[in-house]
Amino acid sequence: MNSMQQIWDDANESKMSCEVLIIGSGAGGSPTAALLAEAGFDVLVVEEGRWVEQGTVAPFSLDQMEQQYRGGGVTVALGLPSIAYTEGRCAGGGTEVNSGLYRRPPTEVVERWRDRWDVRDLDPDELMKTATEVETDIHVTHLPGPASVPSQLLRQGADALGWKHDESPRWMTYPDGNPRHGQRQSMTRTYLPRAAKAGARILTQCRVNKINISHGKATYADISLANGQAGRISFKFVFVCGGAIQTPAILQRSGLRKNIGQTLAVHPTVKLSARFADAINVPDDVPVHQVKEFAPDLSFGGSASHAGLIALSLLDQWSDFKGAIEDWRNMAVYYAAITSEGRGRVMSVPGLVDPVVTYRLTARDRELLRSGLSRLSLLMLEAGATEVYPAFRGAPIVRGRKDLATLQKRFSANKASVMTVHLCSTVPLGENRDLCGAGSYGLVHETKNVYVNDASLLPDAPGVNPQASVMAIAVRNARHFIAQEKPHA
Amino acid sequence: MPNNPTHLPLIITGAAGWLGRALSSHVAHNADGLGVSQLIALVRDSEEQALLQSSLPKDNNLDLRILIGDVTNTPDIDRLFASSSGAFDLVHTAGIIHPKKIADLFAVNETATKNVMQRALHRGARRVVHISSNSPFGNNPHTQDTFRADEPFNPYLAYGASKMGGEIAVQESVSQGLNAVIVRPPWFYGPFQPARQTTFFSMVKSGKFPVFGDGAQRRSMVFIDNLVDGVCRARAWEGEPGRGWWIADTQAYRVSEIVETVGRALTDEGHTVKKNRLRLPHLLGQVAETADGFIQRTGRYVQQVHVLGEMNKTIACDISSATHDLGYVPAVSLYEGMRRSIRWCAQQGIEL
């Protein structure tokens, strides 16, 4: 165990037990662990990845992808086009590696979830109060000073077009007041230490293969430990919080399939690199400004932009674009994300470690991606870009407005490098049994003690960075569980 | 409303066209208030000359000069601008939408626009208003999307490409010092309408207007008088050259709503209107669009196929910039505009 005593990765026991087993330590699992431990439950958190101290790997680096992402950051939802996605696989999950941008779910989105999926007692005002608490816990704040140049360029382009934009707050502290020296208040800095302090045990490098369920009641989980040894954890309750891909995969391996893994929702995203006359690149941070003129259908923002990622964004049309990489210090990567009508599937397949993931874009999605990439290109021209390199096969170099017509003519989603970092909705919550895999507070339908409490529960994609939605709903559900099982805690 | 300029000659190209006649008529009625000392109208032939004259009020005090010439003929353009000494304003409405052959689109909408702008620049135009279209920007990506004032080009077939060429020509002249702005009307309707618009009324009346799918596609529309108002405001605006505005109604309408409103207007004007039953699958619209593209690539043009291919698209635009900059607010509603259009047809003896 490490200095916190409750956090360890070298379990020797093949048989363990706890009152509440929490599988996964990301934005859903960590607050669940903290609240339940503080309410007096005997909590054991198991995390498939390692505990990586912040500061030991460079943010947005290839090293980080290797250490803290599933599959080294190379995971794909199959389809036409295939959609690359990333999943954090480390203590703290995605909160350790994402952009750190925080957006409350829009009220109309919460109302849509409540009404269409019949989510009992999902009150937007109450959820926003919960969000306020979370914001205090993880120090959601705006920059203490000017944004980075790539972020300001996004704002300038939007201003020139009269398009709405704003600065997204982040869960960061700025100890010396320098906006470049932010320390992300991820789960390993906030809820996980809080859970450990309240007595929760946190076991890393422990993979859950299957939960054993009989007549709707789960009793133990089959696990694999860091040393390759198989084991078993007995529990009274289990919370599956492995994220929108791993959670349905675990449930499916455990024999639960109804409305599980069938409605994956993402924000499909296309990218471009913009080249400017001056050096603007910031390799270790992402812009905080987002353009919301066309929200919720379309959002524009900035991506991680170190030299390797700029090269990656030029790869689709490398024969024409490769000369630009020499000038990477003058370049940054930007994205256009859409809310998608399409849906995907997560299917665990016997013999495969990871599930097969598919996603299908609709005709509207494809047109929105085209429109998004061209509107973003226009914005970059207005921001002063001398050249824009859209990321799709056959793309032109955009130097002026006339080239935008060529971009739109040549674009096809099938030729684009479509990716996403926002994955959700594989076990939607609610009472509508035709649509939902879990009840209004995350109890998996047809089970007595199997809960889901992560991004899987969001009925559909919120159209904004989803972490705030995930955390607010996780806290809401954890409190409901405590009130049900330990009303005097 | 921006202040009208001190009295200057106003040149209108395409003056015998739909918009040209409506604009000329408005100028003839309000020359003094608009600050127009003389109207110089370019028409293509004596037939158009008679048409324009018949559109103007009989008892106007307008100083009118009508020149016969073609914008595709450079000496004619030179003659047009030579007719005005000193400063002048120009509204360039000349354009072609339904040509005999595709090459005509580019000759009129692109090359002629370039020539007109260059000569306006060199002859010292005070202000130029170029009439463009929604076509350089194509269709909205989905039914709820709305074009903002500034959008990337995505031309719809050859007409869109030719009007895009026109806009680019205007912007190039602006970069050389021309004081030009652009007005972009979407689908407009109203008095002086050509025969194809009469067909529109007839189809609605007989219950045979093609509605694709559930009719949820949205279209921005503008009554011709509202458009003329927008053009006049753009002429008088004193802001930065190069600006463009959508001039349309405040909201875009669902196609089903347009058909219903036109049906109501026809009924209220005493016509018998059959319930519209012509629902077509989206696929047919796509087939028509593909066929239109194929035909246009051969250099030919079939109006019916073109119009059918466009009918299942959403073309919705946001007029808030025009309201903000120009004080433009559409004064005539869709229903009222349609009633006025129907009455105009009756006055002209046009059978619907």
**B80 burial level (CB within 10 Å; 0-12, 13-18, 19+):** buried
Per-residue model confidence as pLDDT tens digits over A157-210:
999 999 999 999 999 999 999 999 999 999 999 999 999 999 999 999 999 999
| Integer Cα distance of A457 and A150 in angstroms | 34
In A, which residues are within 8 Å of B149 by CB distance? 162
**Which of A165, A203, A145 is CA-nearest to residue A25?**
A203
Least confident of A237-251, A325-339, B55-69, B320-334: B55-69
Look up A422 and say whether it is catalytic.
yes
In B, which residues are within 8 Å of A292 by CB distance? none
Burial B7-35, CB ≥16 within 10 A → b, else e: ebbbbbbbbbbbbbbbbbbbbbebbeebb
B164 touches chain A (CB under 8 A): yes
Average pLDDT over every residue of B286-312:
79
Q: What is the pLDDT of residue B57?
A: 87
| Integer Cα distance of A227 and A362 in angstroms | 44
**Banded pLDDT at B5 (limits 50, 70, 90):** low
CATH top-level class of A141-182+268-420: alpha beta
Residues 6 or more apart whose CB falls under 8 angstroms from that of A408 comprise: A370, A374, B138, B152, B153, B154
| Integer Cα distance of B325 and B323 in angstroms | 6
Give me the helix-helix angle, A363-382 and A149-161, nearest 10°.
100
**Banded pLDDT at A277 (limits 50, 70, 90):** very high
Average pLDDT over every residue of A48-73:
86
Tokens of A46: 């198991």
pLDDT over 90 (residue B214): no
Tokens of A304: 């991680």
Torsion of CA A227, A232, A237, A242, to 10 degrees: 40
Which residue carries 């209220």 as its tokens? Answer: B268
B321 touches chain A (CB under 8 A): yes
Q: What is the pLDDT of residue A358?
A: 98
**Banded pLDDT at B211 (limits 50, 70, 90):** confident
Average pLDDT over every residue of A264-288:
97
pLDDT over 80 (residue B308): no
Among chain A residues, CA nearest to B135: A405
**Which of A409, A5, A446 is CA-nearest to residue A259?**
A446
Eight-state DSSP code of residue A294: T
Would A7-51+93-138+186-260+424-485 and A141-182+268-420 be classified into the same CATH topology?
Answer: no
A165 touches chain B (CB under 8 A): no
Per-residue model confidence as pLDDT tens digits over B93-123:
999 998 999 999 999 999 999 999 999 999 9
| Integer Cα distance of A38 and B54 in angstroms | 88
Distance spanning both ends of chain B, measured CA to CA: 37
Q: What is the pLDDT of residue A67?
A: 86
The verdict on a CB contact (< 8 Å) between B164 and A404 is no
CB A37 within 8 A of CB A482: no
pLDDT over 50 (residue A450): yes
pLDDT over 50 (residue A368): yes
CA angle (A299 as vertex; A293, A304 as ends), nearest 5: 135
| Bridge partners, residue A419, by sequence | A84, A269
Per-residue model confidence as pLDDT tens digits over B253-271:
999 999 999 999 999 999 9
A294 touches chain B (CB under 8 A): yes
Pairing outcome for strands B187-189 and B221-223 = parallel
A237: left (phi over 0), alpha (psi -120 to 50) or beta: beta
Cis, bond preceding A296 (omega within 30 deg of 0): yes
In B, which residues are within 8 Å of A377 by CB distance? 152
Residues 6 or more apart whose CB falls under 8 angstroms from that of A56 comprise: none
Per-residue model confidence as pLDDT tens digits over A203-252:
999 999 999 999 999 999 999 998 889 999 999 999 999 999 999 999 99
Per-residue model confidence as pLDDT tens digits over A67-110:
888 888 889 999 999 999 999 999 999 999 988 999 999 999 99
Per-residue model confidence as pLDDT tens digits over B142-196:
999 999 999 999 999 999 999 999 999 999 999 999 999 999 999 999 999 987 7
| Integer Cα distance of A281 and A283 in angstroms | 6
pLDDT over 50 (residue A59): yes
Pairing outcome for strands A83-85 and A75-77 = antiparallel
CB A358 within 8 A of CB A344: yes
The H or E element containing residue A203 is strand A201-204
pLDDT over 90 (residue B88): yes
CB A60 within 8 A of CB A283: yes
**Banded pLDDT at A5 (limits 50, 70, 90):** low
Q: What is the pLDDT of residue A280?
A: 98
CA angle (A434 as vertex; A265, A241 as ends), nearest 5: 50
Torsion of CA A314, A319, A320, A322, to 10 degrees: 50
**Which of A303, A326, A304, A324 is CA-nearest to residue A314?**
A324
In B, which residues are within 8 Å of A401 by CB distance? 152-153, 168, 171
| Integer Cα distance of B221 and A116 in angstroms | 34
Active-site choice (A165, A267, A289, A422): A422
| Integer Cα distance of A49 and A31 in angstroms | 18
Q: What is the pLDDT of residue A3?
A: 42
Reduced to 3 states (helix: H, G, I; strand: E, B; else coil), residue A151 is helix
CA A35 to chain centre: 22
Least confident of A121-125, B60-64, B223-227: B60-64
The verdict on a CB contact (< 8 Å) between A404 and B152 is yes
Q: Which of A365, A402, A412 is best to mutate for the B interface (most B CBs within 10 A)?
A: A402
| Nearest CB neighbour to B152, from listed A163, A293, A375 | A375
Give me the helix-helix angle, B113-122 and B157-175, nearest 10°.
10
**Which of B147, B120, B112 is CA-nearest to residue B245?**
B147
Pairing outcome for strands A269-275 and A331-338 = antiparallel
**Banded pLDDT at A13 (limits 50, 70, 90):** confident
Average pLDDT score over chain B = 93
Q: Which of B147, B151, B159, B172 is best to mutate for the A interface (most A CBs within 10 A)?
A: B151
Q: How much of chain A, in percent, has pLDDT values that exceed 70?
A: 99
**B198 burial level (CB within 10 Å; 0-12, 13-18, 19+):** middle
ipTM above 0.90, yes or no: yes
**Banded pLDDT at A1 (limits 50, 70, 90):** very low
* pLDDT top residue among B257 and B292: B257
CB B190 within 8 A of CB B223: yes
Q: How much of chain B, in percent, has pLDDT values that exceed 90?
A: 78
Q: Distance (Å) from the C-alpha of residue A367 to the closest C-alpha of chain B?
A: 5
B216 touches chain A (CB under 8 A): no
Per-residue model confidence as pLDDT tens digits over A138-162:
999 999 999 999 999 999 999 999 9
A408 touches chain B (CB under 8 A): yes
CATH top-level class of A7-51+93-138+186-260+424-485: alpha beta
| Integer Cα distance of A436 and A430 in angstroms | 6
Q: What is the pLDDT of residue B41?
A: 97
| Nearest CB neighbour to A408, from listed B148, B149, B152 | B152
CA angle (B106 as vertex; B102, B110 as ends), nearest 5: 160
CB A265 within 8 A of CB A223: no
Where do the domains of chain B lie, and which CATH numbers do they carry? 8-189+222-248+316-331 (3.40.50.720)
Parse chain A into domains and list their residue ranges. Answer: 7-51+93-138+186-260+424-485, 141-182+268-420
Q: Where are the beta strands (DSSP E) in A282-330?
A: 289-291, 298-302
**Banded pLDDT at B250 (limits 50, 70, 90):** very high
* pLDDT top residue among B7 and B307: B7
